[in-house]
Amino acid sequence: MVLAVTSLVLIREIRRLPVGHLTVQFFDVGQGDSALMVSPSGKTILIDGGPDLSALEALGKALPLSKKSIDLLILSHPDPDHFTAFPEILRRFKVGALLLPAIRNNEEPFQVLLAIAQEQGIPLVAANPERDIDLNDGVVLDILWPPHPAPLIGDNDASIVLRASFGTGSVLFTGDLGVQGEATLLATGVDVSAQVLKVGHHGSRFSSSDAFLTAVSPRLAVISVGKDNHYGHPNPETLQRLTTAGIPVRTTAEEGDIVLIF
């Protein structure tokens, strides 16, 4: 089933983001994840909200001052380095809906996020591979993982995995998916191929297995990661697997914001 988004607000003015294309901007939020998509008709989707308020600041720079709405927020999984800015974004922007992973937790930050969304009447939508999201302008968000209901796996391996496609361009977002989640996803037989791979778990040693890289077969890998982080991300072994596979790598730690246009 395809879920058509019919009530999304159009952007009449987009600062530095070209109209008629799908633009994906990976924000430099340090050791965390946050990426903004702007569709050809101006619909806005924010995937994850980083470890602090950097994503909020980045939104202010990427969108026009008159833009006070975001059509869809997507939380890949309930770790603070992926949604810390979301509560403040909910307060400052009119948000059309919040797409949530099947596995949630009882930690206070996540519960506060849910409470704010419910107070503001924002629809909470559970990610479901049987209900993809069609933006009605050529962009489709194909939810690939996890199944609904989700299997008994950890938060990271239950991350929402989705492919954003427009024409021949595509980006695979993987949250903090690790090798166990990758293997379970591949075992379903679903097509995970994409032009661009947002590398799982900030380039952790326990992500981006050889089998997964072969299945995705990306032309580019993007790693959202903090400079000189104490986790040692991206791990040298992961970088070597990407190099061996012939996949160019770009990181937010080295470049800051990374903008791709399809």
- The Cα 130–Cα 45 span in angstroms is 20
Give yes or no for residue 8 having a pLDDT over 50. Answer: no
Instruction: Please answer whether residues 198 and 172 qualify as being in contact, where contact means their C-beta atoms are separated by less than 8 angstroms.
Output: yes
pLDDT at residue number 64:
86
Assess whether pLDDT exceeds 80 at residue 17. Answer: no
C-alpha span between 219 and 100 (Å, rounded): 29
CA distances from 140 to 26, 55, 135, 169, 248 (A): 18, 23, 6, 11, 25
- Above 50 in pLDDT, residue 6? no
**pLDDT for 9 beyond 50:** no
**195-230 tens-digit pLDDT:** 999 999 999 999 999 999 999 999 999 999 999 999
Q: Which residue ranges make up each domain of the chain?
A: 18-261
pLDDT band for position 4 (50/70/90)?
very low
Q: What token pair was written down for 184? A: 């379970």
3 state DSSP class of 147: coil
Mean pLDDT value across residues 71-87? 97
Provide φ and ψ at 128, rounded to 5°: -150, 120
Q: Calculate what percentage of the chain has a pLDDT beyond 70.
A: 92
CA 72 to chain centre: 11
C-alpha to C-alpha distance for 11 and 198, rounded to whole angstroms: 26
Angle (nearest 5°) at CA 27 between 183 and 159: 25
Q: Confirm if 11 and 67 have CB atoms less than 8 A apart.
A: yes
Which pLDDT value is given to residue 152?
A: 64
Superfamily of domain 18-261: Ribonuclease Z/Hydroxyacylglutathione hydrolase-like (3.60.15.10)
* Mean pLDDT (the chain, rounded): 91
Range 22-39 average pLDDT: 98
- Computed over its alpha carbons, how large is the radius of gyration of the chain? 17
Q: Is the pLDDT of residue 3 over 50?
A: no
DSSP secondary structure letters along 26-59: E---SSS--EEEE-TT--EEEE---SSTHHHHHH
From the list 138, 141, 155, the residue with the least C-alpha distance to 46 is: 141
Residue 13 binned pLDDT confidence (cut-offs 50, 70, 90): very low
% of the chain surpassing 90 pLDDT: 84
The pTM for the full model equals 0.91
Q: What is the mean pLDDT of residues 113-133?
A: 95
Q: Are 223 and 217 in contact (CB under 8 A)?
A: no
Nearest alpha carbon to residue 76 among 169, 170, 145: 145
Q: Tell me the per-residue pLDDT of 141-189, one tens digit each, with 9 for 90 and over.
A: 999 999 877 766 788 999 999 999 999 999 999 999 999 999 999 999 9
